[in-house]
Amino acid sequence: MGLVLLWAGAAFAYDSLFVQLRTQNGLSKLFPSGKSRARIEDGPLLGFGTERTIVLPDGRLRIDQNRVYNKLRNPETGRVAELPEKWKMTVRLVLSPTLRLLEADTRARFHKSADKIFEDYHISEEQEDLFEVDHYRVVADRSGKHLTTTSYLRGKQTKSDTYDYPADSIPIEIAGYGLAAAIDRKVERFNFDLLLPDGSTHGIRAVVHRTRDLSRFAKGYPIPGHQLRRPKQVAVVEMRLDSPIKYMLFPHRFYFIYAAADPGRLLALWGGEPGDHMSAFRVE
């Protein structure tokens, strides 16, 4: 897929799409085995990531992701500086042939030496949760109807929880793969429920745009100019919270950009609150 859905129910078209995808065993074949690299920004953290996809003989899809953050941005001043020690994160995902999550394993090595960079911004204080877990596992049970999440810190289990994994939902870790399936099936408008690690869900409204000019989707975000004009048509999935009340509290959008002719290739993504946004750009 190259970088690091659920379709539910408000209208008949969305229901019928989910049923169609759920009965298709070959969805994992949208993502042929290969490796990609991307430049990434996760809030104040900047770096690079790689992703390797492997289609296993039984049709399952294995995804190995590696991220290395080497710079930190001060959210108050916008100043960017090198991290004294690189931050690293590895993720292994295993998906069923129908793109259901079977397991996820995330490991992180973050360093509080980053607090020495800026006098007025200490990331360990502003984002304490980053240092509360360094290993996180998600495993589906045999029925595929429940997920168990387990958190660890320095080798000791700190938390474990089991929650429902509805048939019409997909975890946030793999939402981008479901979006690619929707593009492949030429679906232009849909809703889906995003399943979060604590078992809660957020309804999302999505619209697909097919274009070569991404300028109108970049307003408020520091997107490099050369990323906004594409030589070939791309499919842009524009997403926002579906609930009017939630959208009023978080009136921001996310954009996932795929190769229109090859939805398994995620070319770029960005979105969220402009001052604390996320972005990734595929490096060819």
Mean pLDDT, rounded, for 150-165: 96
Q: Say yes or no to pLDDT of 81 above 60.
A: yes
Share of the chain above pLDDT 70, in %: 91
Confidence (pLDDT) at 2: 52
Q: If we measure between CA atoms, which residue out of 158, 180, 216, 200 comes closest to residue 29? A: 180
Beta strand pairing call for 135-140 and 101-109: antiparallel
Amino acid letter, residue 100: R
Higher pLDDT: 224 or 13? It is: 224
Q: If we measure between CA atoms, which residue out of 120, 163, 125 comes closest to residue 141? A: 163
Going from the C-alpha of 277 to that of each of 73, 139, 204, 248, 280, the distances in angstroms are 12, 29, 18, 18, 10
- Rounded Cα distance between 72 and 77, Å, is 12
CB 192 within 8 A of CB 246: no
Mean pLDDT, rounded, for 197-206: 88
Mean pLDDT, rounded, for 118-142: 95
Higher pLDDT: 188 or 107? It is: 107
Confidence (pLDDT) at 98: 85
Domain spans of the chain, in order of start:
12-283
Q: 247-280: b or e for each residue (b if 16 or more CB lie within 10 Å)? A: eeeeeebbbbbbbbebbbbbbbbbbbeeeebbbb
CB 130 within 8 A of CB 96: no
Confidence (pLDDT) at 69: 97
Q: How confident is the model at residue 30 (pLDDT cuts 50, 70, 90)?
A: confident
Residue bearing tokens 């048509």: 233
* Tokens of residue 136, six digits: 């996180």
Q: Say yes or no to pLDDT of 89 above 90.
A: yes
Over residues 35-46, the pLDDT tens digits come to 999 999 999 999
